[in-house]
A and B are shown apart, each in its own frame.
Chain A
Amino acid sequence: MKGEKRKVILKEKKVEIPLAKEELEVVGKQVIRKDGYEKVTGRLKFGADFDKAGFLHGKVLRSPHAHALIKKVDVEKAKALPGVVAILTAEDVPGRNGFGAIIPDQPVICGEKVRFIGDGVALVAAESEEAAIEALKLIDVEYEPLSAVFSPVEAMKPGAPKVHENGNLLTTVRIRKGDTEKGFQEAEVIVEQTYSLPFVEHAYMEPDVAMAIPHEDGTITVKGPMQAPFTVRRNIAPVLHIPISKVQCVQTHLGGGFGGKEDSSIDIGVRAALLAWKTKRPVRMEYEREEVTLSTAKRHPMIIQCKVGAKRDGTLTALEGTIYNEQGAYASLGPIIPPAGGTHAHAVIMLPGPYVIPHVKVDGYLVYTNHPYGGAMRGFGAPQVNFVHESIIDELAEALQMNPYDLRMKNCFELGSVTATGQVLDQSIALKETMRSAADQFEWFKRWRPPPSKEEVEKVEKRRGVGMAIGWYRTSIGTFSDGCGANVYVHEDGSVILHTGITEMGQGSHTVLAQIAAEELGVRIEDVRIVVPDTDIVPEAGPTVGSRSTTLMGNAIIMASQAVKASILEAASEILGVPAERLVARNRLIFDRDDQTRGVEFKEAARRALATGKRMMGQGWWAPPRPSFDVETGQGYPYFVYTYNTQMAEVEVDTKTGHVEVIKVVACFDIGRAINPILVEGQIEGGIMMGLGYAMMEEVLLKEGKVQNLNFQDYMIPTAMDAPEIVPMILEDPNRYGPFGAKGIGEMPNIPTAPAIINAVANAVGVRIRDLPAHSEKVFHAMRGRRG
Chain B
Amino acid sequence: MKISFILNGKKIEIDAPPDRRVVDLLREDLNLTGTKEGCGEGECGACTILVNGESRLSCLMLAPQLEGQKVTTIEGLASAEKLHPIQQAFVEFGAVQCGFCSPGMVLASTNLLQKNPNPSRAEIREGISGNFCRCTGYQKIVDAVEAAARKMKI
| Closest A residue by C-beta to B27 | A49
Residue interface bits A24-41, CB-to-B below 8 A is 1, else 0: 000000001101111111
Interface hit among B50-58, B63-71, B99-107 = B99-107
| 657-687 of chain A: CB within 8 A of chain B | 678-679, 681-682, 684-687
Nearest CB in chain A: distance from B84 CB, A: 8
Known: A40-B102, A41-B87, A711-B41. A506 touches B139 (CB 8 A): no
Contacts of B35 in A (CB 8 A): 42
**19 A/B residue pairs, CB under 8 Å, sorted by A:** A39-B102, A40-B87, A40-B106, A41-B34, A46-B33, A46-B36, A46-B100, A48-B36, A204-B134, A253-B98, A256-B97, A256-B100, A288-B40, A506-B99, A679-B94, A685-B139, A686-B135, A712-B132, A717-B132
- 10 nearest CB pairs, A to B: A42-B34, A506-B98, A39-B99, A255-B100, A685-B137, A506-B97, A42-B74, A712-B43, A49-B33, A36-B91
B142's partner among A37, A40, A288, A720 (CB-CB below 8 A) is: A720
- Asked whether any CB of chain A lies closer than 8 Å to the CB of B149, the reply is no
B136 touches A (CB below 8 Å): yes
A717: chain B residues at CB < 8 Å are 132, 134
From 66 to 89 in chain B, residues with beta carbon under 8 angstroms from any chain A beta carbon are 73-75, 77-78, 83, 87
Q: Roughly how many angstroms separate A415 CA and B93 CA in the complex, as a whole number?
A: 36
Cross-interface CB contact of A44 among B40, B44, B99, B141, cutoff 8 Å: B99
Q: What is the CB-to-nearest-CB distance from B135 to chain A, in angstroms, rounded to a whole number?
A: 5
Q: How far is the CB of A221 from chain B (nearest CB, A)?
A: 21
Q: Chain A, 507-540, contact with B by CB distance < 8 Å: what is the 0/1 string?
A: 1100000000000000000000000000000000
Q: Contact at B41–A289, with CB atoms within 8 Å?
A: yes
Cβ A36 vs Cβ B126 within 8 A: no
Which residues does A use to contact B, with CB under 8 Å?
32-33, 35-46, 48-49, 52, 202-207, 253-256, 258, 288-289, 505-508, 678-679, 681-682, 684-690, 711-713, 717-721, 723, 725-726
Is B41's CB under 8 angstroms from A206's CB? no
Q: Is the CB of B98 within 8 A of A721?
A: no
Given A688-B137, A712-B44: A40 in contact with B37 (beta carbons within 8 A) = no
In Å, the complex CA distance between A685 and B101 comes to 16
Which residues of chain A are within 8 angstroms of B90 by Cβ–Cβ distance? 36, 40
Contacts of B139 in A (CB 8 A): 685, 723, 725-726
- Cβ B36 vs Cβ A255 within 8 A: yes
A36-B137 in contact given A42-B75, A207-B38 (Cβ < 8 Å): no
Query: Which among A36, A37, A206, A686 is the interface contact of B36 at CB below 8 angstroms?
Result: A206
Q: Compute how far the CA of A256 lies from the CA of B41 in the bound complex, rounded to whole angstroms.
A: 19
Smallest CB separation, B103 vs chain A (Å): 4
- Using A36-B90, A256-B134, A688-B137 as known contacts, say yes or no to A713 and B41 having CB atoms under 8 A apart: yes
Further 8 A-B residue pairs, CB within 8 A, beyond A684-B137, A686-B137: A38-B99, A40-B74, A204-B98, A288-B40, A289-B41, A508-B97, A682-B97, A717-B134
Residues of B within 8 A of A689 (CB): 136-138
B129 at the binding interface (Cβ < 8 Å): yes
B96, A36: Cβ atoms closer than 8 Å: yes
Tell me which residues across on chain A come within 8 A of B138, comparing CB atoms. Answer: 685, 689, 718-720, 723
A212, chain B: closest CB distance, angstroms: 20
Which single member of B38, B46, B97, B137 contacts A726 (CB below 8 Å)?
Answer: B137
Give the distance in Å from the alpha carbon of A258 to the alpha carbon of B136 in the complex.
12
Q: Which of chain B's residues have a CB closer than 8 A to the CB of A685?
A: 136-140
Q: Give the docked Cα–Cα distance between A42 and B105 (Å).
A: 11
Bound CA span A2–B106, Å? 45
- Distance between Cα atoms of A46 and B125 in the complex (Å): 27
| Contact assessment for B40 and A41 in the assembled complex, using a CB-CB cutoff below 8 Å | no
Contact B94 A681 (CB under 8 A): yes
Among B129, B137, B138, residue most surrounded by chain A Cβ atoms (within 10 Å): B137
- Tell me if B's interface is mostly helix, strand, loop or mixed: loop
Chain B residues closer than 8 Å to A508, beta-carbon distance = 97
Q: Which residues of B contact A (CB under 8 A)?
A: 27-28, 32-41, 43-44, 46, 73-75, 77-78, 83, 87, 90-92, 94, 96-103, 106, 124-126, 128-142
* Minimal beta-carbon separation of A215 from chain B (angstroms): 26
Chain A contact residues: helix, strand, loop or mixed: loop
Per a CB cutoff under 8 Å, which of B100, B128, B137 touches A206?
Answer: B100
Q: Which residues of B contact A207 (CB under 8 A)?
A: 37-38
Please state if A40 and B83 are interface contacts (CB–CB under 8 Å): yes
Which residues of A have CB within 8 Å of B140?
681-682, 685
Q: A32-B92, A42-B75, A507-B97 are in contact. Are A205 and B134 (CB under 8 A)?
A: yes
Query: Does B137 lie within 8 Å of A203, measured CB to CB?
Result: no
Nearest CB in chain B: distance from A619 CB, A: 29
B97: chain A residues at CB < 8 Å are: 256, 506-508, 682, 686
Contact among A42, A206, A506, A726 with B103 in the assembled complex (CB-CB below 8 Å) = A42
Cβ-defined partner of B38 (8 Å) among A206, A681, A684, A723: A206
Select one of B36, B39, B96, B103 contacting A712, CB under 8 A: B39
Whole-angstrom distance from the CB of A479 to the nearest CB of chain B?
27
- Cβ-defined contact, A719 with B103, below 8 A: no
Find the B residue at minimum CB distance from A254.
B98
B116 to chain A, nearest CB (A): 15
Question: Do A256 and B135 form a contact, CB below 8 Å, given A42-B74, A713-B43?
Answer: yes
Report how far A256 CA is from B101 CA in the complex, Å: 10
A286 and B41 alpha carbons, distance in the complex (Å): 16
Minimum Cβ distance to chain B for residue A533 (Å): 15
CB distance from B107 to the nearest CB of A (A): 10
Measured between alpha carbons, how far is A679 from B135 in the docked complex, in Å?
11
A767–B126 CA distance with the chains assembled, in angstroms: 30
The residue on B at minimum CB distance from A289 is B39
Query: Cα distance A719–B133 when bound, in Å?
Result: 7
Q: How far is the CA of A685 from the CA of B133 in the complex (A)?
A: 12
Give the complex CA separation of A258 and B130 in angstroms.
22
Is B94 a contact of A205 with CB atoms below 8 Å? no
Chain B residues in 8 Å Cβ range of A258: 134
Using known A-B contacts A33-B91, A207-B38, determine if residue A505 contacts B125 with beta carbons closer than 8 Å.
no
| Most chain B CB neighbours (cut-off 10 Å) among A254, A507, A681, A723 | A723
Taken together as a complex, chains A and B put the C-alpha atoms of A42 and B125 apart, in Å, by: 22
Which chain B residues lie closer than 8 Å to A32 at the CB level?
91-92
- For residue B124, which residues in chain A have a CB less than 8 angstroms away from its CB? 720
Q: Which residues of B have CB within 8 Å of A712?
A: 39, 41, 43-44, 132
Complex Cα–Cα for A720 and B112 (A): 14
| Chain A residue with Cβ nearest B44 | A712
- Asked if B136 and A37 sit within 8 Å, CB to CB, the answer is no
Distance of B82 from chain A, by nearest CB (Å)? 11
Contact (Cβ within 8 A) A41 B75: yes
B112 to chain A, nearest CB (A): 11
Closest to B35 in A: A42
A206 to B97, CA, bound (A): 13
Whether B128 and A41, one on each chain, are in contact in the complex, defined by CB atoms closer than 8 angstroms, is no
Residues of B contacting A686 in the complex (Cβ-Cβ under 8 angstroms): 97, 134-137
In Å, the complex CA distance between A46 and B98 comes to 10
Residues of A contacting B75 in the complex (Cβ-Cβ under 8 angstroms): 41-43
Q: Given A256-B100, A720-B125, A711–B135 Cβ distance below 8 Å?
A: no
Q: Which residue of A lies closest to B33 (CB)?
A: A49
Residues of chain B within 8 A (CB-CB) of A718 are: 138
Q: Are B99 and A678 in contact (CB under 8 A)?
A: no
Task: Verify B125–A723 contact, CB threshold 8 A.
Answer: yes
Q: Flag if B43 contacts A206 (CB, 8 Å).
A: no
Complex Cα distance, B85 from A425, in Å, reads 48
Q: Which residues of B contact A203 (CB under 8 A)?
A: 132, 134
- Name the CB-closest residue of A to B106: A40
Distance of A146 Cα from B40 Cα, bound (Å):
34
Q: Is the CB of B92 within 8 A of A289?
A: no
A33 contacts B96, C-beta separation under 8 Å: yes
A145 to chain B, nearest CB (A): 31
B142 A723 Cβ-Cβ under 8 A: yes
> Chain A residues near B87 (CB, 8 Å)?
40-41
**B129 neighbours in A (Cβ, 8 Å):** 719-721
**A42-B73 contact given A33-B91, A37-B83, A289-B41, CB 8 Å threshold:** yes
Assembly CA distance A253 to B125 (angstroms): 27
